[in-house]
Amino acid sequence: MTPEEKEILVTRASMPSYEEFIEEIKPIWETAWMTNMGEFHDKLKDELKDYLNVQNLLLFVNGHMALEMALQAMNLTGEVITTPFSFASTTHAIIRNNLTPVFCDIREDDYTIDVDKIESLITDKTSAILPVHVYGNVCDVEKIQQIAKKHNLKVIYDAAHAFGVEVNGKGIGTYGDASMFSFHATKVFNTIEGGAIAFHDPSLEVLLNYLKNFGITGKESVEYIGGNAKMNEFQAAMGICNLRHVGDNIELRRQITERYRERLSGISGIRLIPPKEGIKQNYAYFPVVFDGFSQTRDEVYELLASHRIFARKYFYPLITDFECYRERFADVCLPVAKKAANNVLTLPLYAQLSLEEVDRICDIIISGK
List residues near ligand T4K by CB under 6 A: 9-13, 62-64, 86-87, 89-90, 132, 158, 160-161, 182, 184-186, 195, 314
Q: Smallest distance, Å, CB 266 to ligand T4K?
A: 29
How many CB atoms are closer than 10 A to CB 77? 14
Q: What is the pairing mode between strands 170-171 and 166-167?
A: antiparallel
Non-local CB neighbours of 335 within 8 Å, separated by 6+ positions: 105
- CA-wise closest residue to 100 among 69, 67, 123, 116: 123
How many angstroms separate the most distant Cα atoms in the chain?
68
3-state secondary structure of 191: coil
Q: Smallest distance, Å, CB 6 to ligand T4K?
A: 14
Q: Smallest distance, Å, CB 217 to ligand T4K?
A: 26
What Å distances lie between residue 331 and 161, 260, 325, 336, CA to CA? 29, 38, 11, 15
Of 90 and 127, the one with the shorter C-beta distance to ligand T4K is: 90
Q: Are 105 and 117 in contact (CB under 8 A)?
A: yes
Q: Smallest distance, Å, CB 158 to ligand T4K?
A: 5
Of 187 and 259, the one with the shorter C-beta distance to ligand T4K is: 187
Q: Smallest distance, Å, CB 233 to ligand T4K?
A: 18
Span between the terminal Cα atoms of the chain, in Å? 21
Of 99 and 160, the one with the shorter C-beta distance to ligand T4K is: 160
CA atoms within 13 A on the CB side of 41: 19
Backbone φ and ψ of 156, nearest 5°: -120, 120
Q: Smallest distance, Å, CB 104 to ligand T4K?
A: 15
Of 64 and 338, the one with the shorter C-beta distance to ligand T4K is: 64
Strand order across the beta sheet in which 166-167 lies: 170-171, 166-167, 279-280
Q: Smallest distance, Å, CB 203 to ligand T4K?
A: 25
Of 64 and 297, the one with the shorter C-beta distance to ligand T4K is: 64
Of 224 and 310, the one with the shorter C-beta distance to ligand T4K is: 310
Q: Smallest distance, Å, CB 178 to ligand T4K?
A: 14
Of 73 and 192, the one with the shorter C-beta distance to ligand T4K is: 192
Of 95 and 267, the one with the shorter C-beta distance to ligand T4K is: 95
Backbone φ and ψ of 341, nearest 5°: -60, -30
Non-local CB neighbours of 202 within 8 Å, separated by 6+ positions: 55, 56
The C-alpha atoms of residue 151 and residue 146 are separated, in whole angstroms, by 9
Non-local CB neighbours of 138 within 8 Å, separated by 6+ positions: 112, 162, 165, 167, 172, 276, 279
Q: Smallest distance, Å, CB 184 to ligand T4K?
A: 3
Q: Smallest distance, Å, CB 225 to ligand T4K?
A: 21
Of 181 and 260, the one with the shorter C-beta distance to ligand T4K is: 181
The C-alpha atoms of residue 273 and residue 292 are separated, in whole angstroms, by 16
Of 10 and 48, the one with the shorter C-beta distance to ligand T4K is: 10
The C-alpha atoms of residue 231 and residue 39 are separated, in whole angstroms, by 12
